[in-house]
Structure 1
Amino acid sequence: MLRIPVNEGENIERALKRYKRKFVKTTVKNQLQERKQYTKPSIARRAQVQKAQYVQGLRDLENI
């Protein structure tokens, strides 16, 4: 659970902005999206391999 202390005299909009920033940084949003729909392990593994191939291709292009 995220807690954002609101200081005295602090604007609520500023506190909400801090909350949103903290929410994104803690990757809670990504976890919620992953839980929304089940992904088979084989498909997750395939996506991981494809991402690794893509990154490796980018690194190869940098070395040329």
Structure 2
Amino acid sequence: MILITIVREGESIDKALKKCKKKFDKTRVLKEFRDKQQYVKPSEGRRNEILKAKYREKMRSKNDE
């Protein structure tokens, strides 16, 4: 996979690195790599998703109050 970041003339290196990092995050390559490092049983994966959803709902209701 190749990430191409176009840097305009006069643009700082910091800004170009920020663009490159943002593109890399959007591709989600690192997330997939981390997910594949350890096997998670399907039932355990579903359980984790349900727990995350419950947590998000709890936070939303807490913020709405």
TM interval, shorter chain, is: 0.5 to 0.7
Displaced runs of 4 or more, over 6 A: none
Q: CA RMSD in A?
A: 2.5
How many angstroms apart in 2 are the aligned matches of 1:5 and 1:24?
A: 13
Structure 1: runs of 5 or more not aligned: none
Q: Secondary structure at the match of 1:22?
A: helix
Q: Deviation of residue 20 (structure 1)?
A: 3.5
Normalised TM-score (structure 2): 0.67
Listed as ranges, the gaps of 5+ residues in structure 2 are: none
The count of aligned residue pairs is 60
Percent identity of paired positions between Structure 1 and Structure 2: 32
User: Superposed, which structure 2 residues align to 1:1-64 within 5 Å?
Assistant: 1-4=1-4, 17=17, 18-64=19-65
